[in-house]
Structures are given as C-alpha cells and as structure tokens.
Amino acid sequence: MSTKDYLEKDYYAVLGVPKTATAEEIKKAYRKLARQYHPDANPGDSATSGNTARFKEVSEAYDVLSDTKRRKEYDEARTLFGSGLGGYAGPGGAGRQGGFSFDLGDLFGGTHQQSGGIGDIFGGLFNRGGTAPRGTARTRRGQDVETEVTLSFAEAAEGTTVSLRLTSSSACTACGGTGAKAGTTPRVCPTCEGTGAASRNLGNFAFSEPCRDCKGRGLLVDDPCSVCEGSGRGKSTRTIQARIPAGVGDGQRIKIKAKGAPGENGGPAGDLYVQIHVKPHPVFGRTGENLTVTVPVTFTEAALGAEIKVPTLKGMPVTLRIPEGTPNGRTFRVRGRGVARKDGTKGDLLVTVEVLVPQQLEDKARGALEEFRDATAGFDPRAELIQQARSE
Ligand SMILES: [Zn+2]
Ligand SMILES: [Zn+2]
C-alpha cells in the first residue's frame, strides 16, 4: 500500500463502518463482506469479476484498519493531506512494503470441509513482491471425497472388502482434461508465458493475480471441447474396492489415502473418507476389541456348576465351565473369540450369565424345590442386611 493508496481509498467506506469504529466492529464488517465476496461464495466468477475485485478491496481495507499501527498511519495521512485527493502523487518510498495478508482461519472459523480448496484458489494469488513462480501448468491435488458404508456387525468386527461407488470431479474424458477439442491442443498463454500469474503494481506494493487472459491456467484453448465446454472438468463415477480393517466401530470415519479424486497435471490424488455405519447384532455387543454376550443359566446350573454352550460370532459354540455357586451377573472371559486386532490376534468374548427363575413348575420339580427349601430353612439371606441396617 502506498501513501497514494492511503489518500485515494476510503477504507472506512469500503467496509461500511464509521471512522470511530472499534476493532471489533471493523472485524465484524470485514467478515460479513468477505463471506459475501469471497471467490468460494461465487464459484462461477472469473478471477477478474466484480466480486473478486470487491473481495480484494475489502481485504485491503481490513488489512490496514485491523492493524492498529497502520490504521493510525492511515488516519494521520488522510488528516494531513485531506481525503479524496484523486491523482495525488505521494512522496516516493513513504508507503509500506508488503503486508498484504489476511487470515483465512479467521474468515472461515476453522471449518475443515474442503481441504485443498482454499489453497487452490489462493495459490500464488497474493504472493508478495510480484514474483510469480515460473513453471508450466500448475499441478493440483485431487479433491478429497466423502462416502459412507453400512456394514454388518460381523463385517465390522472381522474386517471386509467393500465396493464403493464414487462420483467425483475429474478431468474430462473427452479431451483428457485439456479443454481443447479432440485433435487440437491448447497453446501456452502468451500474456503470462504459461505461468498463469500476472503481476500488478499498486504503488510500491506488487502482488500477483491470476492471468486475465487464461484465467490462471497458463494455457489458452482456441477450439473448446464440446463435452466440457473448454473447462477440462468432468464428473466421473468409479467403483473401487476398499479394504475396511477389522474392528471399525459405528460412527467411525476412516481415511483411505489417495483414493479420492485424481489430481490434475500430475498432482497427487485426494484422499477418500469413509463414514462407517454398523448394524447392531441381535445377540452380540462390542466394547472395544471385546465382544459381549448375555447367556441365560438355570438356578441349578449356577448353584451346582455346569458346562454350558456359548455362541460365538460366526463360529461354532464353545463350552464354558461355570463353577459351583456362580452368582447372577458374573462375567466370564472366553479368550480369542472377540474382535480381530491389527496384529491378527483377537480380543475376548465376555460372557455374562443371567440366572433364570422358572416361570412354571411341574409337580415333580415343585416337590424337589419344596424339599430344597426345607433343607435350607436355616439360612436367612437377609439376616446380615437387616443387622447392618440397624447398627448404623
Ligand atoms: Zn473436455
Ligand atoms: Zn495467461
């Protein structure tokens, strides 16, 4: 920004705030305008559109007014020389070097939806000093792609391979992404010599912006491809086989590297994110790498001890020995019958016994239980409880 800029531009008017605005008010006004004019909010716009120009203006104004020191300089310059002096040539070298910066994290509140998108738009757009990187068409990382998949309980526990149908933006297949009609090739843009960037001087502050003639591509297409109308972009649907590791949980999001949209001009592919849904199982539950199951046992099995059959996930039942005098709700561990771990071993199956009380008794069974009652008449299971309650 030069002194000339300071005198010609009314940054307060650009942001629509009074001269007396607080830092907070300035920030608020900037955020509102930046959201409105930001290239992401106007995806159809070219780099030279009104919105883009307005966005730069707003950013420039905020850049000065948000910096206490620079705002003071700005106010002083305008008080000293009067404002609105169109054509005033400021004293050489009195302006500032560089300093054209803005905080994207601030602007977007740290949202993380489109990694890569912002970098793409601003890559080389505002680099200081006007030295655009030289090179041919810029490489661009492919977009990250999101998808979701619903697994059965067993698939999630043991790992599986799923087919995922992905739709992503990719190079147009008709022209191979060049945007030029079949049989023709794009030519290097003579304005920017293929860099895609143009340098612009603002007083003694220079910055580079996308070349107007080729819109930053570095290439010009004389005969556009009819399929993509010269954009070089197309939608592609592909099916990939993705390995879902054992032990994924419901609600987990897994990242599969480089399986997102393909990159452009030799850039790397984006990543694929898969949101996992797991259907519940009617019998088994999961806690981390262990499976859980509740198994009913009879009163006599619990009292006398028994060998009981316990179901396993996708396997034959196993025999579990429960000891004499097993209380209701006790949990036993069957090793190696849980969820597969990374190293190929498995977690455990946690078996919780639930003692059943018979709902109906045959005569013989009733007689036996009455005999049992008489035989244990001397035992009062509540005696200790009642005594404890009294002694407090
Ligand atoms: Zn095409
Ligand atoms: Zn160009």
pLDDT at 51: 80
Structure confidence by residue, pLDDT tens digits, 27-47:
888 888 888 887 777 766 665
Same domain, 377 and 305: yes
Spell out the SS3 assignment of 6-70.
HHHCCHHHHHCCCCCCCHHHHHHHHHHHHHHHCHHHCCCCCCCCHHHHHHHHHHHHHHHHCCHHH
Task: Please report where in the chains the tokens 């390995």 appear, as a residue.
Answer: 243
Same domain, 140 and 229: yes
Asked if the structure places residue 215 within a domain, the reply is no
Ligand nearest to the CA of 230: 1
pLDDT at 60: 87
Same domain, 302 and 356: yes
Arithmetic mean of pLDDT, 16-27: 88
Gap from CA of 39 to ligand 2 centroid (Å): 19
Structure confidence by residue, pLDDT tens digits, 281-318:
999 999 989 999 999 999 999 999 999 999 999 889 99
Arithmetic mean of pLDDT, 44-66: 79
Asked if the structure places residue 387 within a domain, the reply is yes
Share of the chain above pLDDT 90, in %: 35
Same domain, 166 and 235: yes
Residue 53 banded pLDDT, cuts 50, 70, 90: confident
Same domain, 321 and 377: yes
Gap from CA of 186 to ligand 2 centroid (Å): 12
Asked if the structure places residue 45 within a domain, the reply is no
pLDDT at 48: 59
Q: Last residue of some domain: 278, 298, 316?
A: 278
Gap from CA of 175 to ligand 2 centroid (Å): 20
Average pLDDT, the chain: 80
pLDDT at 91: 37
Share of the chain above pLDDT 70, in %: 81
Decide if pLDDT at 94 tops 60: no
Asked if the structure places residue 73 within a domain, the reply is no
Asked if the structure places residue 199 within a domain, the reply is no
Q: Last residue of some domain: 230, 249, 278?
A: 278
pLDDT at 83: 43
Gap from CA of 182 to ligand 1 centroid (Å): 8
Gap from CA of 179 to ligand 1 centroid (Å): 5
Bigger pLDDT: 310 vs 81:
310
Q: List the one residue out of 17, 209, 58, 23 whose CA is nearest residue 130.
A: 209
CATH code, domain carrying 138: 2.60.260.20
Asked if the structure places residue 48 within a domain, the reply is no
Same domain, 274 and 289: no
Same domain, 144 and 234: yes
Gap from CA of 209 to ligand 2 centroid (Å): 10
Residue 371's alpha-carbon distances to 55, 186, 326, 340, 375, in angstroms, are 91, 99, 22, 49, 6
Ligand nearest to the CA of 224: 1
Gap from CA of 226 to ligand 1 centroid (Å): 6
Structure confidence by residue, pLDDT tens digits, 108-155:
333 333 333 333 333 333 333 333 344 445 677 888 889 999 999 999
Same domain, 135 and 269: yes
Decide if pLDDT at 278 tops 80: yes
Same domain, 294 and 364: yes
Gap from CA of 83 to ligand 1 centroid (Å): 51
Same domain, 143 and 266: yes
* Highest mean pLDDT, choosing among 106-110, 202-206, 228-232, 248-252: 248-252
Gap from CA of 192 to ligand 2 centroid (Å): 4
Bigger pLDDT: 1 vs 297:
297
Gap from CA of 119 to ligand 2 centroid (Å): 20
Same domain, 318 and 380: yes
Asked if the structure places residue 231 within a domain, the reply is yes
pTM for the model stands at 0.50
Domain count, the chain: 2
Same domain, 267 and 344: no
Gap from CA of 213 to ligand 2 centroid (Å): 5
Ligand nearest to the CA of 199: 2
Structure confidence by residue, pLDDT tens digits, 339-370:
988 888 999 999 999 999 999 999 999 999 99
pLDDT at 381: 93
Arithmetic mean of pLDDT, 368-384: 94
Owning domain of residue 361: 285-391
Please, are residues 146 and 276 in contact by the beta-carbon 8 Å criterion?
Answer: no
Residue 82 banded pLDDT, cuts 50, 70, 90: low
Gap from CA of 38 to ligand 2 centroid (Å): 22
pLDDT at 366: 96
In sequence order, which ranges of the chain are alpha helices (DSSP H)?
3-8, 11-15, 23-37, 50-65, 68-81, 104-108, 117-122, 153-158, 299-304, 363-375, 383-391
Asked if the structure places residue 106 within a domain, the reply is no
Q: Last residue of some domain: 213, 245, 278?
A: 278
